[in-house]
């Protein structure tokens, strides 16, 4: 059996399983991204504008999550949160059944927490790079703090934070491979199953490498276009100056 047969679609090959696993990988990353971005932005806001307790909480969150291996965070969420939910459920109703946390949900939660810890530092650096006089001018005009953030600060934050967030997105895509250890049928797990059935590790792991590389290459191209578009006015302004 040649390699084309192994990678074909249908009962004879593993192409459809690998494609399905790639879909799960992309779905996991896309579901994690908005949650991680919003949580990271909230942590950065607490670290910069919160009280002493809020700043300490934000620092503890980012330091702890960045200091733990991603795989350990995944295990803690998958097993720990499930145990906590069951304990709470049985406390409320002793006759309740057992609740098992979905591997997909556990993967999203774990990766979102890690992404938020790193993205909070990117958001914080971008926020500190803004001119504080703009906020003061908005307040002098009678604008609410939320309006100032939405209209004045957020567009600039996105431009300044985009390179760092883009790198974190690429890392997130690769970190999705970790969820294969909790039995989520992502690309990596499908490849492991195929290797176990065919004893062709080099073939299937090479295909996985190519799949991740192509996805990351496409994302880097799109991110590059987004950065050029976001900085277009800045370059034009600099040239005019």
| 199 three-state secondary structure | coil
Q: For position 91, what pLDDT does the model report?
A: 77
- Across 161-173, b (16+ Cβ under 10 Å) vs e yields bbbbbbebbbebb
Identify the structural domains of the chain with CATH numbers, from first to last.
3-240 (1.10.3720.10)
Which pTM value belongs to this model? Answer: 0.88
Asked if 77 and 1 touch (Cβ cutoff 8 Å), the reply is no
What pLDDT was estimated at residue 133? 79
What pLDDT score was predicted for residue 90? 72
- Residue 80: DSSP 8-state: I
Cα-based angle 149, 38, 49 (whole degrees, multiple of 5):
50
Please say whether the beta carbons of 157 and 166 come within 8 A: no
Cα–Cα distances (Å) from 196 to 21, 149, 190, in that order, read 16, 53, 10
* Predicted pLDDT at 144: 82
Phi, psi of 77 (to 5 degrees): -70, -45
Q: How far apart are CA 131 and CA 110, in angstroms?
A: 34
Enter the tokens of residue 135: 């906020």
Q: Are 220 and 57 in contact (CB under 8 A)?
A: no
Instruction: For the chain, list residues with pLDDT below 50.
Output: 236-241
Q: What's the pLDDT score for residue 235?
A: 54
> Can you give the pLDDT at residue 43?
95
User: Token pair of 168, please?
Assistant: 């974190």
């Amino acid at each position: 059996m040649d390699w084309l047969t192994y990678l074909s679609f249908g009962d004879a090959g593993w192409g459809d399983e690998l494609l399905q696993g790639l879909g799960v990988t992309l779905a996991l990353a896309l579901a994690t991204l908005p949650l991680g971005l919003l949580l990271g932005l909230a942590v950065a806001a607490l670290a910069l504008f919160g009280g002493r307790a809020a700043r300490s909480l934000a620092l503890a969150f980012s330091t702890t999550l960045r200091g733990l291996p991603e795989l350990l965070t995944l295990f803690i969420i998958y097993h720990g949160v499930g145990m906590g939910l069951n304990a709470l459920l049985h406390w409320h109703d002793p006759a309740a059944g057992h609740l098992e946390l979905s591997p997909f949900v556990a993967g999203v939660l774990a990766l979102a927490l890690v992404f938020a810890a790193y993205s909070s530092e990117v958001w914080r650096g971008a926020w500190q790079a803004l001119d504080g006089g703009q906020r003061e001018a908005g307040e002098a005009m009678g604008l609410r703090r939320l309006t100032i953030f939405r209209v004045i600060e957020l567009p600039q934050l996105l431009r300044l934070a985009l390179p760092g967030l883009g790198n974190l997105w690429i890392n997130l895509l690769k970190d999705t491979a970790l969820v294969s250890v909790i039995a989520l049928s992502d690309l990596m797990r499908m490849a492991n199953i195929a290797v176990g059935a065919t004893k062709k590790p080099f073939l299937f792991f090479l295909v996985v490498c190519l799949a991740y590389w192509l996805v990351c290459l496409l994302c880097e191209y799109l991110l590059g276009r987004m950065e050029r578009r976001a900085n277009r006015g800045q370059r034009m302004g600099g040239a005019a100056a």
